[in-house]
Amino acid sequence: MNANNPYESPRATEEAAPSTTTKPELTLWIATQYVLLTSGGGMVLGALVGLMIAVFVPDYYRSVISRLSAASPEMILRVAMVMGATQGLVVGGLFGLAIVAIYAWYLTRRSKMTS
């Protein structure tokens, strides 16, 4: 402070340290990981839902797929798990793509606001 002016603002004696925070980035590798993770999770959940349907309502798959009308219970369990896993994979992948698209849109809007 200046002795003549008590209202003068104090000045920093050292330079400010650079910011340690980085801008969030969405690389192709990170986006791929999101989609693969949600696809895998959807596949596991879909297989479990298909298994539950086959265990608790075994006639469902017999009525939906005519070729399974005389199939053994083990065959129905396999078909149910594969169908559930396939549907879960697709839904999980679409969900992952939606997350990546929303996040990319958010980062784009954020960078436009700060520029």
What is the per-residue pLDDT across 42-59, written as a single tens digit (0 to 9) for each? 999 999 999 999 999 988
Q: How far is CA 51 from CA 5, 19, 73, in A?
A: 80, 52, 11
Number of H helices, E strands in the chain: 3, 0
What residue spans define the domains of the chain? 28-114
- What proportion of the chain, given as a percentage, has pLDDT over 90? 49
**Residue 15: what pLDDT?**
65
The single residue listed with the structure tokens 């960078």 is: 111
What residues of the chain score a pLDDT lower than 70?
A: 1-3, 8-23, 115
Q: And the tokens for 11?
A: 């000045």
The closest alpha carbon to 62, from 76, 51, 52, 48, belongs to 76
